Structure 1
Amino acid sequence: MFGGFAGFNNDKGGDWGENLLNKVATNTIRHLFTRSDLVEVEVRCQPSSKLLQGTIDSFKMNGRGLVIRKQFRTEEMSFETDTVAIDFGSVVKGNLSLKQPTQAVAQVKLTQADINKSFEAELVRKRLENLTIEDLTKISGGKPVSFTDVDLQLLPDNRIKLLAKASWGDRSIPVSLNCSLGIAKRRRIVFDNALFEPKDVPEDLRDTSKELTIALGKILNKMVDLDRFNLDGVKLRLNRLETAGKMLLFSGYAQIERVPQTG
């Protein structure tokens, strides 16, 4: 290691510094996820001697198959920072510490299958099961209502179709809605203009199913808030979303106050 410092101003020393930072950054980022198929980090620093002062031009991360909090999988995620001021001493010790906050441009790709799998996560289920809100208890006669068996289908033009079952007591009624996806305050995903689709529901249940559909649309609008998924020291914000086949694409940015140690 001391040999690396001694030769840091030549190309070999610069490679040593960049390789060390790449390794530490990769390990740090990989530990933010429950598991991952691939995590790659590329440091950009010209000249490489700037590393000794703790300054790098940017670093870029590409990841595939990243699982957040055990149950939320992303097909792909990438981000690239602005200029970053780091504590190089922390890197030598195997850690990554920022001297000042930085921003990163981020892109995330989710598959339809992974979105549907996320509806089975505890964090999501507790917002859809055993609900006692007034809009629902009026329909159920005061009994808690649960929405289960959620099946979301991505459609062109940022639209989705969502099927589910609303249950209370011994009753189970299918729910079917079609709506457009949008972004509110750069942190919430909203389900706009939810429309009831009667063709998926038996005729004798349509009136009740329509009421449940309207109620479910309101619940969904309050459910997907990025602040619930923020890592310690990182604030996530969205600029754009887009449906593309069986994929949902997000672009936005992360405000990084400090490098989180765990996900």
Structure 2
Amino acid sequence: MFGGLTGLTDSKGTDWGERMLNTVASQTIRHLFTQSESVEVFVRCYPSSKLLQGSIDSFKMSGRGLVIRRDFAVEEMSFETDAVAIDFGSVLSGKLTLKQPTQAIAQVILSEAGINQAFNAELVKKRLVNLTVPSLTALSGGKPVSFPEIQVQLLPENRLRILAKADLDNGELVPLNMTVSLAVERRRRVSFQDPQFDLDLVPEAQREISRTLSIALVEILDNMVDLDRFDLDGVKMRLNRLETEGQKLIFSGYAEIERIPNTSQQAKS
């Protein structure tokens, strides 16, 4: 039977075992996402007989139109592993199990629309509403402060425009308008730096408080986008660089894969 797995090829010379692994891996990875437009896996294994020992030279995944945790849209994601050791028996049972950890070069592309959609996610909103930080409540007479509306616009040279409103829980909404620089910190956190405030469109009576609230919002966002909060079980993402390109935000880095999760995982709160 095993000899047949590595001996049968189709008209394109693709080994039956590799095609089966492609199918199993695609199905396994697809289940990591709430939604996916397409997920494809390409296995490289030469000679194909190595597959019986669970040895693969590499495999490459590319996905498009992905949604994580129902609210976090990823326009494109791709990764390519180093050599991989798998349990070939698990493939025969329709699963994909690693014998040892591996690393993959990864790229993730987010759209401006997807980023704005993420601000409506419950995981994000709960960090932006009913805040009782002393520096904020001092501005609102001791009442909680919220940032109910946030919209971003990607700019050239890794900059981001943030348009927001702050609710002081007293019937007053304060408009915020600023730009920040995006950077990678410690390979796992997206840092919001060098805020520049545009107060021309803010009523003069609100400009000082708008500036203060803008500084506070930048600090909140700067501590929010930490990849460790969003790790899948057994998979850690690490960033080397990011860049803005039109209406896209492109992350390049790598993934440390200890095991392949079996089902969609919840992001850490």
User: Could you say whether these structures have the same fold, taking a TM-score greater than 0.5 normalized by the shorter chain as the test?
Assistant: yes
> Paired residue for 1:6?
3
Q: Is 1:56–2:40 an aligned residue pair?
A: no
**1:106-152 CA-partner distances (Å, limit 9, x unpaired):** 00111100000000000000111110111211111111011022110
Same amino acid, percent of matched pairs: 61
Give structure 1 stretches of 5+ with no counterpart.
none
Task: Name the amino acid aligned to 1:222.
Answer: N
> Paired residue for 2:33?
33
TM-score of the two chains, using structure 2 as the length reference: 0.94
Moved over 6 A (4+): none
Superposition deviation, residue 7 in structure 1:
2.0
Q: Distance in 2 between matches of 1:236 and 1:165?
A: 32
> Paired residue for 1:105?
105
TM-score of the two chains, using structure 1 as the length reference: 0.96
Q: Is 1:203–2:204 an aligned residue pair?
A: yes
Superposition deviation, residue 9 in structure 1:
4.2
Q: Is 1:46–2:46 an aligned residue pair?
A: yes
Give structure 2 stretches of 5+ with no counterpart.
265-269
Task: Name the amino acid aligned to 2:9.
Answer: K
> Paired residue for 1:21?
21
Q: Distance in 1 between matches of 2:147 and 2:139?
A: 14
> Paired residue for 1:171?
172
Q: Distance in 1 between matches of 2:135 and 2:159?
A: 25
Q: Secondary structure at the match of 1:242?
A: strand
> Paired residue for 1:126?
126
Task: Name the amino acid aligned to 1:185.
Answer: R
Report the CA distance shift for 1:154/1:9 in structure 2 as closer, same or farther (over 3 A).
Answer: closer
Between stretches 10-19 and 93-102, larger displacement belongs to 10-19
Superposition deviation, residue 12 in structure 1:
2.5
Q: Secondary structure at the match of 2:35?
A: coil
Aligned-residue Cα RMSD (Å) equals 1.1
Q: Distance in 1 between matches of 2:263 and 2:103?
A: 19
Q: Distance in 1 between matches of 2:51 and 2:243?
A: 38
Q: Distance in 2 between matches of 1:85 and 1:147?
A: 47
Q: Is the 8 Å Cα contact of residues 34 and 70 (structure 2) preserved in structure 1?
A: yes
Number of aligned residue pairs: give it: 260
